[in-house]
Amino acid sequence: MKPETWVPHVTVAAIVERHGRFLLVEEHTTAGLRLNQPAGHLEAGETLLEAVVRETLEETAHPFAPEALVGMYMTHIERPDRAGTTYLRFTFCGAGGEPDPASSLDADIVRTLWMSAEELRACPDRHRTPLVMQCIDDYLAGRRFPLDFVHTHSVGPKR
């Protein structure tokens, strides 16, 4: 029997801050309702920047303009019913526009909400992963890398 090929899941996340509050989503997960930054998986043929813009719009209806990379994160989540999963997360910060009332949210998203770092810190059991708070803390600490830090080479044809 051929061994299973290990492949990490590449994800992107957006930090949008307005007046000391952060744009979050409340979403259905296998562990119940959880809070997360607008985030999702990189799709074939996308750049990381295209993915974070798309995911933010799909999950919040807010357009997103990335301004900097906050950090790159790796986490491994063990699952009792199957092999664990490793995620590589690229978190960007930037400006979010007003929501498009004609846009619908992804099926798993219950709602969007704005929370302060203190409110978010007070409910760690509701976070999708520990990366939710880690990314906010890094953002608040001023961690920023210019967008040209992220290079894309030989991206395939557009869908």
**pLDDT tens-digit map of 43-75:** 999 999 999 999 999 999 999 999 999 999 998
Task: Tell me the average pLDDT across 132-146.
Answer: 98
pLDDT band at 82 (very low <50, low <70, confident <90, very high): low
If you average pLDDT over every residue of the chain, what do you get? 92
* CA-based nearest residue to 99, from 143, 35, 47, 56: 56
**pLDDT tens-digit map of 31-44:** 899 999 999 999 99
The answer to whether residue 51 sits within a structural domain is yes
| pTM assigned to the model | 0.90
The answer to whether residue 154 sits within a structural domain is no
Are residues 91 and 135 in contact, defined by beta-carbon separation less than 8 angstroms? yes
The answer to whether residue 156 sits within a structural domain is no
The answer to whether residue 129 sits within a structural domain is yes
The answer to whether residue 152 sits within a structural domain is no
Task: Tell me the average pLDDT across 15-39.
Answer: 96
The CATH number linked to 62 is: 3.90.79.10
